[in-house]
Amino acid sequence: MKKSLVQEKSFQFSLKIITLYKKLSSENEYIISKQLLRSGTSIGANIEEALGGQSKKDFIAKMSISSKEARETNYWLRLLKESDLTNIDVTDMLSDIHELIRLLTAIVKTSQQNLTKN
């Protein structure tokens, strides 16, 4: 089965989140690192569920959850970047999450429009 673009990008992003989590944990930063691990890996998990959805409404609901998790992840990454908790550079990850947010927003909007047309 061929993977979708958003599915593959979210999986690769999850791998980066896990690596970041390990680095933050080694610096004894546990609060934000756990929040990032939870929200950052949830994006892809919900996309996987959406792709196996039972209906178009189920698909839209799961993709919407992915979008919300991506926005939460963006918040935690911004907080890490702007705080003095670590010197780890998350600039590339912020670019990745912005791309995922754009993709997920487009998918949800298009799917909702298609649902109302039918």
CATH value at residue 19: 1.20.1440.60
Residue type, 10: S
Q: Which of 7, 13, 107 is closest to 56 using CA atoms?
A: 107
Q: What's the domain range around 85?
A: 5-117
- pLDDT tens readout for residues 65-79: 999 999 999 999 999
Phi-psi domain of 29 (left: phi exceeds 0; alpha: psi -120 through 50; beta: other): beta
pTM score, whole prediction: 0.94
- pLDDT tens readout for residues 13-55: 999 999 999 999 999 999 999 999 999 999 999 999 999 989 9
Domain total of the chain: 1
- Going 78 to 82 to 85 to 87, the CA torsion angle's sign is positive
Report the C-alpha gap between 94 and 51 in whole angstroms. 25
